[in-house]
Amino acid sequence: MAEVEGSCHCGAVHFTAAYAPTDINDCQCDHCQKRGVLWAYYTPKDVTVTGAGSSYVWGHEHTRFHFCTVCGCTTHWTAVDPKRDRMAINARLLPREAVAGASVRKSPGPR
């Protein structure tokens, strides 16, 4: 499968994923709804992120949410525990054609 590339609105944070997502999660938790994100999940070895952003950790502290400090777009999340082999990119920052074939589900998110 072909790589896909995305970036925040201003372009300061850029990422490349090894393949286009086939499944996207429209997480229904309050936090993700306020951010307006759609998550595409990967293992960290399949994603390269460049550029300077900041991050935010809250609640259960399992997940670090990254965002661009210039334009504010949420770009991705990473696991706080480096042994956890999972991360997600914000599929809203991918080209529309890269996500056109993906199914979208609505998970309730963490409680």
**Binding residues vs Zn ion (CB under 5 A):** 8, 10, 12, 68, 70-71
- Residue 69 or 102: the one with the smaller Cβ distance to Zn ion is 69
Distance of CA 65 to the CA centre of its chain: 8
In whole angstroms, how close is the CB of 89 to Zn ion at the nearest point?
A: 14
Q: Which residue is nearest to Zn ion (CB)?
A: 68
Pairing relationship of beta strands 23-25 and 103-105 according to DSSP bridges? parallel
From the CB of 85, what's the least distance to Zn ion, in Å?
27
CA distances from 22 to 54, 71, 98, 99 (A): 28, 27, 9, 8
